[in-house]
Amino acid sequence: MATKIIPPAPKVGMVSLGCPKALVDSERILTKLRSDGYQMSPDYAGADVVLVNTCGFLDSAKEESLEAIGEAIAENGRVIVTGCMGNEADVIRARFPQVLAVTGAHQYEAVVNAVHEASPPVPNAFVDLVPEGGLKLTPRHYSYLKISEGCNHRCSFCIIPSIRGDLVSRRIDAVLREAEKLVHAGTRELLVISQDTSAYGVDVRHEPRQWKGAEIRTHMTDLARALGDLGVWTRLHYVYPYPHVDQVIPLMAEGKLTPYLDIPFQHASPKVLKAMKRPANDAKVLDRIRGWRDICPDIAIRSSFVVGFPGETEEDFQYLLDWLDEAQLDRVGAFRFEPVEGAAANALPDPVPEEVKEERYARIMEKTAAISAARLQAKVGRTLPVIVDEVGEMDEDGSIGATARSQADAPEIDGNVFLRDVQIGRADLKPGDILDVLIEDADEHDLYGVPVENQPR
C-alpha cells in the first residue's frame, strides 16, 4: 500500500497596522487562507509571501504603512499590500515597484486571490485547518465583533468614506451567530466595533431577521440586548450619541452590557464642531451624561479629541477644557490636527501654528490626566470585577502577580489593573479568568489591587 505524502503547505506572514477594524479584516483574511490550506508564519524568514494590511487615515499612518512595506520587502521580498492605503496603489507602486499586488480595504476575495497567485495552495483534505470561530490575532479571551463597514458621515477631517465607502450593515443574525461561535470558542469579552455603531441598520431600514424563533431588528439596541444574553462582557465602541443610545444604559445597570461607552466627541466648541461637520451635535450632551450616570453610576465614558483644528481659537480651546471639567470623562485620548490628503478640512482658513497645537495638546493631556487620576482614586477601597490578561512568574518571595483590566478598560486602549498575590493557594489562574479584586491604590491611568477570593468566575 502506497504511503500518502502530504506536501508542505505554503506559509503566509501578516503585518497588521491601524485600528481594531483593520485587525478584524486581517483575521478574516487569515481565516480564509487557513481554510485554503495555508500555514501562518510568525516571522519574515519562514513566509512564502507576506501580507501588509495598511492604515491610511493620517499622513503619519501612511508613512508608517510605507515603512512596514519597505521592511517586509527588505526582509522577505514577496509582499502583497492590502487595507486602507490600498486605494493609493500608485503611491505604493511608485515607491515599491516590486510589490506583488495591491488591494483595498475589506477586499477579502481580491487579497486571497492575490495570495493564491503568488503562492498557490496545496490541496489537503486530511487536516482540519480552521479552528471554531476562525483565526484570531487577539488573545483567546477577547474578540472584536465588527457589525458594519463604511460610514455615512462626511466629517471634514476624515477620508474614511472615500476609503471604505458608505455604511453597509451586516445581517444581525450573522453577527449574533458569529458572537455565539466566539463565546463557544472561549471568548469572555466581546468588543463591538464599526465606523458608527449607533447607525447600525440605518442602510437597511432596520430590517427584521429571525433569530432563535423570534424577530429581531437590525438596530443597535436590539443587537445590544441579544449580545447581553450571551453572559460575557460586551463593550460598545465608536458610539455616536444619538437619542437611542439612552436605551442601552439600563442594560448596563442590569449587568447585561459592560458599563462602558466609547464616544468620539472630537471637540466641544459649537463653532469647531460645525467646521468639523460632526453629526449629533447635541447641546444637551452634558445633561445626558449626567442622566446616564444617574441610571448606571459605574458607567465609564471614553472619548477622543482633536486640538489645533483649523480656525480653533484660544476661546474654543478653553471651551473644550471647561467642558471636560464638567463632563469628567473617565478615559480621553487627544490628537493634534493633521491634514490628510483628500480631506475637506485642509482648505479651511486660519490654520493653527504647530507650536500652538503642541501647547494645547500638552494642556489637554494635563487636564485629562488629572481628571483620570481623581476618578481612579475614588475607586480605592472598592471591590471590582477584573478580567485577567496576563499571569506573571513567581518572584523570590513566592508571590505571583498579574495584569488585568476592569470594566472601565478596553484592551490596548485604556488602563490596567495590576494585581499582587494572585495565586496564593492556587496555581491555575489563566488569561480570561474574571476575579473580584480589592483596589488598594491608583495613579493617573492604572489601578492596583489584590484578589478577594482564590476562585475566578
Domain for residue 288, yes or no? yes
Domain for residue 131, yes or no? no
Same domain, 361 and 265: yes
Which SS3 state, helix, strand or coil, does residue 304 take? strand
Domain for residue 47, yes or no? yes
Task: Spell out a b/e string for 284-314, using b for 16 or more CB atoms within 10 Å of the CB, else e.
Answer: ebeeebeebeeebebbbbbbebbbbbbbbee
Close Cβ partners of 2 (under 8 Å, ≥ 6 residues apart): none
Q: What is the DSSP letter of 452?
A: S
**Is 296 marked as binding a ligand?**
no
**Residue 409, pLDDT score:** 97
- For the chain, the farthest-separated pair of C-alpha atoms sits apart, in whole angstroms, at 85
Contact 215, 261 (CB under 8 A): no
| Cα 154 to the center of its chain, rounded Å | 21
Same domain, 356 and 211: yes
Same domain, 66 and 101: yes
Task: Spell out a b/e string for 52-67, using b for 16 or more CB atoms within 10 Å of the CB, else e.
Answer: bbbbbbbeebbebbbe
CA-to-CA distance for 160 and 106, rounded, in angstroms? 13
pLDDT (tens, 9 = 90+) of the chain, 457 residues, equals: 445 555 678 899 999 887 887 888 888 888 888 878 888 898 999 899 999 999 877 778 888 999 999 999 999 989 999 988 887 888 899 999 999 999 887 677 788 888 888 888 876 544 444 455 566 677 889 999 999 988 888 888 887 777 778 899 999 999 999 999 999 989 999 999 999 999 999 999 999 999 988 999 999 999 999 999 999 999 999 999 888 999 999 999 999 999 999 999 999 999 999 999 886 555 588 999 999 999 999 999 999 999 999 999 999 999 999 999 999 999 999 999 988 878 888 888 999 999 999 999 999 999 999 999 999 999 999 999 999 999 987 776 767 889 999 999 999 899 999 999 887 545 678 899 999 999 999 999 999 999 987 545 5
Contact 189, 143 (CB under 8 A): yes
Same domain, 349 and 291: yes
Contact 439, 384 (CB under 8 A): yes
**Is 55 marked as binding a ligand?**
yes
CA-to-CA distance for 327 and 293, rounded, in angstroms? 11
**Residue 454, pLDDT score:** 52
Same domain, 308 and 419: no
Domain, as residue range, for 417:
383-451
Where do we find the cell 468614506? 161
* Strands in 320-430 per DSSP E: 331-336, 383-391, 402-406, 417-419
Domain for residue 238, yes or no? yes
Contact 196, 153 (CB under 8 A): yes
From the list 206, 196, 209, the residue with the least C-alpha distance to 166 is 196
Domain for residue 2, yes or no? no
**Residue 1, pLDDT score:** 46
Task: Spell out a b/e string for 423-446, using b for 16 or more CB atoms within 10 Å of the CB, else e.
Answer: beeeeebebbbbbebebeebeeeb
Same domain, 160 and 27: no
Contact 310, 337 (CB under 8 A): yes
Q: How many domains does the chain have?
A: 3
Domain for residue 133, yes or no? no
Angle separating helix axes 285-295 and 314-327, nearest 10 degrees:
20
Same domain, 285 and 146: yes
Q: What is the DSSP letter of 266?
A: B
Q: What is the DSSP letter of 457?
A: -
Q: Distance of CA 239 to CAs 242, 283, 290, 450, Å?
A: 8, 17, 17, 33
Same domain, 226 and 339: yes
Q: What is the CATH number of the domain that holds 39?
A: 3.40.50.12160
Q: pLDDT digits over 265-318, tens only?
A: 999 999 999 999 886 555 588 999 999 999 999 999 999 999 999 999 999 999
Q: Give the side-chain half-sphere CA count within 13 A for 53.
A: 26
Looking at 340, 360, 377, the residue that finishes a domain is 377
**Residue 200, pLDDT score:** 96
Domain for residue 82, yes or no? yes
Q: What is the CATH number of the domain that holds 425?
A: 2.40.50.140
Contact 247, 256 (CB under 8 A): no
Name the phi and psi angles at 266, rounded to 5: 75, -35
Same domain, 332 and 408: no
**Residue 254, pLDDT score:** 95
Same domain, 284 and 238: yes
The predicted model scores a pTM of: 0.77
Same domain, 283 and 419: no
Same domain, 273 and 203: yes
Close Cβ partners of 266 (under 8 Å, ≥ 6 residues apart): 155, 273, 276, 278, 303, 304, 305, 306
Domain for residue 137, yes or no? no
Q: What is the CATH number of the domain that holds 332?
A: 3.80.30.20
